[in-house]
């Protein structure tokens, strides 16, 4: 019953007509997180074959962050975890800003620790998910009339004044 009600509330929030973002942008962030999580776990397994200890630690972190990324955005993929319902409720209650910080932090940490191709490919999509959530946290741009009205408050600049180009 808990998983079905969680799926129903998630469906209602994803198809909210009052949302400020198109449906494809929310799905793009989820797709980056899911595909990035899978690739992070795959490349994390490959990075475990490294010799340097910092790269091995980065690979272990990348494995954990990949699983966490999938658990946060696609909890149905992790139904074998007993406490996935609590993770789902936690994820759904966070704002876009919190998700942006979380995913960018999860994406950049392995890359800083071990800047090799497998960590960049693995954690890069998780970081991309964080940037999409960051753009969503910034909000939509205002329409032209609102922006011109806000710019019209400035007495030093007016769009109707033709200013000459200063000589070079």
pLDDT at 74 over 90: no
Domain boundaries, the chain: 28-140
Across 2-6, average pLDDT? 53
Quote the pLDDT of residue 111. Answer: 94
The band of 90, judged by pLDDT with boundaries at 50, 70 and 90, is confident
Cβ atoms 37, 66 nearer than 8 A: yes
Residues 32-48: pLDDT tens digits? 899 999 999 999 999 99
Quote the pLDDT of residue 34. Answer: 92
pLDDT at 102 over 90: yes
Structure tokens at 55: 């790269």
SS (H, E, C) the chain: CHHHHHHHHHHHHHCCCCCCCCHHHHHHHHHHHHHHHHHHHHHHHHHCCCCCHHHHHHHHHHHHHHHHHHHHHCHHHHCCCCCHHHHHHHHHCCCHHHHHHHHHHHHHHHHHHCCCHHHHHHHHHHHHHHHHHHHHHHCCCCCHHHHHHHHCCCCCCCCCCCCCCCCC
- Beta-carbon contacts of 130 under 8 Å, excluding residues fewer than 6 positions away, are 99, 100, 101, 102, 103, 104, 105, 106, 107
> Which comes out higher in pLDDT, residue 67 or 165?
67
Residues 111-160: pLDDT tens digits? 999 999 999 998 999 999 999 999 988 877 777 777 777 666 666 655 55
Mean pLDDT for the chain? 81
pLDDT at 164 over 90: no
């Amino acid at each position: 019953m808990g998983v079905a009600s969680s799926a129903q509330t998630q469906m209602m929030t994803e198809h909210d007509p009052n949302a400020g973002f198109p449906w494809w942008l929310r799905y793009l962030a989820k797709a980056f997180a899911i595909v990035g999580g899978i690739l992070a776990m795959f490349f994390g397994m490959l990075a475990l074959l490294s010799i340097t200890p910092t790269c091995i630690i980065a690979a272990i972190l990348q494995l954990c962050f990949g699983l966490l990324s999938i658990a946060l955005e696609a909890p149905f993929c992790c139904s074998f975890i007993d406490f996935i319902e609590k993770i789902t409720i936690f994820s759904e209650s966070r704002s876009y800003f919190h998700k942006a910080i979380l995913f960018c932090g999860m994406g950049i940490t392995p890359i800083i620790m071990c800047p090799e191709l497998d960590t960049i490919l693995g954690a890069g999509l998780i970081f991309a998910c964080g940037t999409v959530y960051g753009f969503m946290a910034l909000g939509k741009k205002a329409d032209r009339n609102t922006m011109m009205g806000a710019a019209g408050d400035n007495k030093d600049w007016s769009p109707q004044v033709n200013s000459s180009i200063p000589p070079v």
